Structure formats: C-alpha cells, structure tokens
Amino acid sequence: MISSRSPAVDWEPLLKRLTSAAYGLFKQYGLSDVLRGGGISADDLAVDALIEFFEGKTVKWSPQQPNEDPFPLIWIVMRNNLIDRIRKPGHQKTVLIEDVRKQDGTNQLESVTLFDSGLPNLLKRPGVGFTDAEARILAETFYPYAEGDQALIDVIVAVVYFQCRKRREIAECLDITPEDVTDRWEKLKYNYTRH
Amino acid sequence: MPKSRIIKPIPPKSEQEELYDAVFGPNEEMSEDLADDILATYAVTGQMLVDKFKARLQERIKEIHDQTGEIPAPLEATMRNVRQYERERIPRTVGADEWVSEIFGAALLPSSHASPLFSFRTSSTGEISENDRDILSRLMLELEEADQ
C-alpha cells in the first residue's frame, strides 16, 4: 500500500499546506496558537495527521491517478482530530477554569468579539436567513479581513446579504469568473489566517 | 480500484464552517504560494516542518515497536521516502573547475546556438585553441595599429 503512495509525495509543500490550513482551523475554532488542555500546536496537528494518514489504519488511500493530491483527505483527518481534541473533557475544563476569568477576576467572555459570541446565535436559524440587523452585524465582523479592498468586501456582501455559499454562486452574483472568486478568497484567507 | 476513504465517521461541516468556507474559501483548498505567505507570518519554514515530521515519525515508529515488538512497515517506508527526498534535495558537490566548465561548456548550449569564438580552458588543460589564437592575434594587431 505504502509503496503506491510514497514515491509521488513532495513532503515540504504538503507539510506547508497542511500547517497553514491547521492555523486556519485553529482560528476558525477560536483557538490560540497552542490548543489549551491538549498542548498541541497547529504544526503538531498537521504532522500527526500526516503520520496517521501514512500509517494507513484510519485512511485507505487508493489514488486514482499517479499524482493525486492527498491533501484534501489529510485535511479531513486533521479536522477530525481537532474536533476530537476540543470535545475532550480536559480541553473544556481547562477553558472553563483557567481561561474564562482574567487576572483581575472579571469574566473574559465579556470582551469576546461580537463574531465569536454572536455567530452561533445567528446560525441557529440558517434556513430562515438573517434579518437586516443580523446580516449587518455578521458582515461587519468579516469586513476587517477585507482591509478596505472593495473586491473583497463584495465577496462578503454576496455571502452574507445574498446567501451565496458556492464559488459559482458568488461569481454569478458579482458577475465575475469563478477564478476571480478563488483569487479573492486567497486574499481573504491570508488576511484571516496570518499571524 | 476502490476509492480513497476515511474509515472512521466524519462529522459533517457545521453551518458555521460552511459560512467560513463561503467567506474565506474552503479550508481544504490551500495553494503552496498561499501557504508560504501564511507561514512566513508565523516564522515557520518548510525545513522546520520536515524536521519535525521526521522526528515525530521516528517517535511513532519507536512507540509502535515498543508496544508490539514490530516495526510498522508503512511508517518505515514513509521514513525511507522522506530520507530519500531530503538526499535528493541536497545539491551535488561540484569542484570549481567542473562548475565553471559546466557554465561555459558547449554541452549546455542548444545545438542551434552559434558556436562561440572562444573556448574556456584552464592552464592545466593545455594549448589554447586555433580560434583563441586567431582572436588574440587580431586583438594584438588592433592594439598596435591604435598605438601608431
């Protein structure tokens, strides 16, 4: 099995892509650079997922083409592992006891950004869609990542106000090509994921 | 051939994850250029990641060996592959003479390329070529004419 998967692997680019995606996952789940309670960092998450993938116990890798990219499959392993770790009681306990209270004793949740505290509530009714006020709050939480670039703001507007979710939907809404959407996503993702 | 798959259950993406995907692009899409840009902001290099991967892989092989008394073949093969990958990335050591010769050597020029009027040679190679001798003679002649 391994002989069919190893020769085509270009390790360094694969590790770089996985680690960058892991930083994105950490941010998405509201985690700092090192996962509390588990003590793992984004690069640990990427490296462990890669080892798990090549160990072959939880993943069956049967490439249909010689140079098939294993990244999407390893990304799933990585995401699953992160979710497992977040669900562990140790992680929850650490957050509740150590992190919620600041040094001065005040509740840290009071200073959580609107996005972190408001989004789960807004998303409880995804089928209904957002009210104007909710959409405005949501859009404003994403705007900083556009850094004033109107093209990037347009993507956020298409997603939040026009409920576009897929690349093609956003492209049609903004009258641009799907490749343009990919380019704008890359800029937004960089602004969001970078340190 | 059966398709690749994850054996354990995969939690579906939440609405929140789908919203993130729509705003920032799917998290499972990551180009190497974008990864380079992002990692630069964390001061993380590719070599650091490869080194970490190798170290963790060794730990995992040892861990399994300690538990079962056997070396896990897939991970052993992966380690061999990583070592081979690193060996291939180290530039071949080349002597100065060979390096300069490679730069000026005719072998590097396409066959359609006009042949140069000079040929590079070191003092240990021997006599200079007829072409070089001709060029030098003409240069000397030009210099003598300029002096007069």
Q: What is the DSSP string of A20-88?
A: HHHHHHHHHTT--SEETTTTEEHHHHHHHHHHHHHHTSSEE---SSTT---HHHHHHHHHHHHHHHHHS
Q: Which residues of B touch A159 (CB under 8 A)?
A: 19, 22-23
In a domain? residue B57: yes
Answering whether pTM is above 0.95, one says: no
* Structural domain span for residue B70: 46-90
In a domain? residue A107: no
pLDDT of residue A15: 96
> Which position has the higher pLDDT, B89 or B23?
B23
- Whether residue B73 sits in one domain with residue B58: yes
> Which position has the higher pLDDT, A188 or A4?
A188
A38 to chain B, minimum CA–CA distance in Å?
Answer: 17
The tally of domains found in chain A comes to 2
- Give one DSSP letter per residue of B45-111, joined into a string: -HHHHHHHHHHHHHHHHHHHHHHHSS--HHHHHHHHHHHHHHHHHSPPP--HHHHHHHHH-GGGS-T
- Whether residue B85 sits in one domain with residue B57: yes
Q: Which residues of B touch A120 (CB under 8 A)?
A: 16
pLDDT of residue A99: 41
How far are the Cα atoms of A46, A77, A170 from residue B11, in angstroms, in the given order? Answer: 19, 11, 26
CB-nearest partner of A59 from B6, B36, B72 = B6
> Which position has the higher pLDDT, B142 or B56?
B56
pLDDT of residue B134: 81
> Does B8 contact A80 at a Cβ distance shorter than 8 Å?
yes
- Predicted confidence (pLDDT) at residue A123 exceeds the cutoff of 70: no
- Predicted confidence (pLDDT) at residue A23 exceeds the cutoff of 90: yes
In a domain? residue A104: no
pLDDT of residue A121: 55
- Does B135 contact chain A (CB < 8 Å)? no
Can you tell me whether residue B5 is helix, strand or coil?
strand
* Structural domain span for residue A88: 2-99
**Cβ contacts of residue B14 below 8 Å, gap of 6+?**
A123
Write down which residue in A99, A125, A157 finishes a domain.
A99
Q: Using only the alpha carbons of chain A, give its radius of gyration.
A: 20
Residues A92, A35: Cα–Cα separation, whole Å: 11
B110 to chain A, minimum CA–CA distance in Å?
Answer: 31
- Predicted confidence (pLDDT) at residue A124 exceeds the cutoff of 60: no
Residues B36, B59: Cα–Cα separation, whole Å: 27
Average pLDDT, rounded, for chain B: 79
> Does A16 contact B36 at a Cβ distance shorter than 8 Å?
yes
In a domain? residue A105: no
In a domain? residue A153: yes
In a domain? residue B106: no
- Predicted confidence (pLDDT) at residue A167 exceeds the cutoff of 50: yes
- Whether residue A93 sits in one domain with residue A121: no
> Does B16 contact A120 at a Cβ distance shorter than 8 Å?
yes
Once rounded to an integer, what is the mean pLDDT over residues A110-119?
Answer: 47
In a domain? residue A106: no
Both structure tokens of A147: 């850094």
Q: What is the pLDDT of residues B126-147, one digit of tens each?
A: 666 777 778 888 888 888 777 7
- Whether residue B53 sits in one domain with residue B31: no
- Whether residue B62 sits in one domain with residue B32: no
Q: Which residues of A touch B37 (CB under 8 A)?
A: 190, 194
Write down which residue in A78, A99, A120 finishes a domain.
A99
- Whether residue A74 sits in one domain with residue A46: yes
Q: Which residues of B touch A55 (CB under 8 A)?
A: 60, 72, 74-75
- Whether residue A91 sits in one domain with residue A10: yes
- Whether residue B86 sits in one domain with residue B53: yes
Q: Which residue of B has its CA nearest to A49?
A: B53
- Does A71 contact chain B (CB < 8 Å)? yes
- Whether residue A123 sits in one domain with residue A53: no
Residues within 8 A of A (CB atoms), B 10-69 only:
10-11, 14-25, 27-32, 34-39, 41-42, 44, 46-50, 52-53, 56-57, 60
B35 to chain A, minimum CA–CA distance in Å?
Answer: 5
Residues A43, A99: contact at Cβ < 8 Å?
Answer: no
- Give one DSSP letter per residue of B105-144, joined into a string: -GGGS-TTSPPPS-----GGG-SPPHHHHHHHHHHHHHHH
Write down which residue in A99, A132, A151 finishes a domain.
A99
In a domain? residue B4: no
Residues A70, A53: contact at Cβ < 8 Å?
Answer: yes
Can you tell me whether residue A139 is helix, strand or coil?
helix
- Whether residue A187 sits in one domain with residue A166: yes
Residues A26, A42: contact at Cβ < 8 Å?
Answer: yes
Residues B39, B95: Cα–Cα separation, whole Å: 36
- Whether residue B40 sits in one domain with residue B61: no
The tally of domains found in chain B comes to 2
Residues A175, A169: Cα–Cα separation, whole Å: 10
